Structure 1
Amino acid sequence: MMRWSLLLLGALTCLGPLAASAHGPTPQKVEEKIVLKSSPADVWAVVSDFGGLANWHPGVETAEATGGNKPGAERTLTLKSGGVIVDGLDEYNAEEMSYGYRLSKENIEALPVSFYSATLSVKPGDGGGSEVVWLGRFYRADTSNFPPENLNDQAAVKAMETFFREGLEGLKAKVAAGK
């Protein structure tokens, strides 16, 4: 009996580390913010159209949308770097100047993530200005235990940070130009 107990303990000790490394990917999070001198209403006028991302994001060549700003709407983004991303609108609140959306169709060549959900919101800032917050939660493109470098957590975080940051900088330029 003692011998079996020792064998079982030995087996569990050997297998424990394998189980710990076999958990798969963990969710990642990126939050980018920008402070603008323009009023929240002026900034919201630019970002409020879910299908209008190409109007202010320099990395988006075109955006085709169906469904307006109602939950269930979809937008298809063609990126200047190549690739297409399809997003679905989950929630839209004009009063709170915020909307949430998710990736509807994965394209890991365009963006190395397998899934994301994101929220874009405009909040009052100091001196009548605004703060725009773009928050995303996502999983890396390769959800296996040992992904290649171009599809791992770091690649996913970098891609999402870059996409959000470039978008916010484009928004800043668009709002400053008064267009």
Structure 2
Amino acid sequence: MKRRLFLGAVALAALPGLAYAHGPTRQKVTLTTEVAAEPADVWAAIGNFQDMGWHPAVHATAGNGGNEIDATRQLVLGEEGGPTIDEILYKYDATKMSYSYRITDVKVEVLPVTNYSSHLTVTPRDGGGSKIEWKGAFYRGYPNNDPPAELNDEAAIAAVSGVYQAGLDALVEKFGAPGS
């Protein structure tokens, strides 16, 4: 009986520490925008996985496999010789104007995330035009407890949000806002 009480007390004493024992939690970001152009026109600009030239941070895109599942692309950021992000396509539906991809290789100094996946979708907007949704899920760039500020959850969310917002803003600039 004393042994059971002792083991129970040890287990209870360990419980508070368990809350801090796990690593990071999966973060999610979803941003949307609306544009005046019809969905088919927007999809024509962003629906080719091999061409991300519509995003202002992307200097060049090179890849293999077109829009087929397991197609790959490498994004060169900023300028020739700039940092790169390698990605793979795992879902593509031209009819639904949607595709999903994962990052397979990126330095956390470039984008402070790990295990990143993303989905880009264009849908009709009530009253004409299009709604563009870009969402992603990821872990912060530092997988252990007590991450440095540049690799914590907040840094990861801010970086992904910044990437999405810059791309969506460029699409509004290209296609115009509804009613403008």
1:76 aligns with 2:74: yes
Contact 1:79/1:110 (<8 A) preserved: no
Runs of 4+ in 1 over 3 A off after TM superposition: none
1:48 aligns with 2:47: yes
Aligned amino acid, residue 113 of structure 1: V
Percent identity reads 42
Q: Residues 86-138 of structure 1, C-alpha deviation per residue, up to 9 Å, x if partnerless?
A: 01001111111011101111321110001111110000002221000001011
Please state how far the C-alpha of 1:171 moved relative to its aligned partner.
1.7
C-alpha separation between the residues in 1 aligned to 2:124 and 2:150? 38
What TM-score, normalized to structure 2?
0.91
1:8 aligns with 2:7: yes
Please state how far the C-alpha of 1:59 moved relative to its aligned partner.
1.1
Residue equivalent to 1:65: 63
Q: How does 1:87-166 map to 2 (within 5 A)?
A: 87-166=87-166
C-alpha separation between the residues in 2 aligned to 1:73 and 1:175? 28
Please state how far the C-alpha of 1:170 moved relative to its aligned partner.
1.1
Q: Which moved more, 1:77-86 or 1:121-130?
A: 77-86
Please state how far the C-alpha of 1:42 moved relative to its aligned partner.
0.8
Please state how far the C-alpha of 1:8 moved relative to its aligned partner.
2.0
C-alpha separation between the residues in 1 aligned to 2:175 and 2:54? 9
What TM-score, normalized to structure 1?
0.92
Aligned amino acid, residue 173 of structure 1: E
* Consecutive unaligned residues in structure 1, runs of 5 or more: none
C-alpha separation between the residues in 2 aligned to 1:150 and 1:11? 37
C-alpha separation between the residues in 1 aligned to 2:34 and 2:77? 25
Contact 2:54/2:170 (<8 A) preserved: yes
Please state how far the C-alpha of 1:175 moved relative to its aligned partner.
2.8
* Consecutive unaligned residues in structure 2, runs of 5 or more: none
Query: For the aligned residues, what is the CA RMSD?
Result: 1.4
Q: Residues 116-167 of structure 1, C-alpha deviation per residue, up to 9 Å, x if partnerless?
A: 1111000000222100000101111111122111111111111110001101
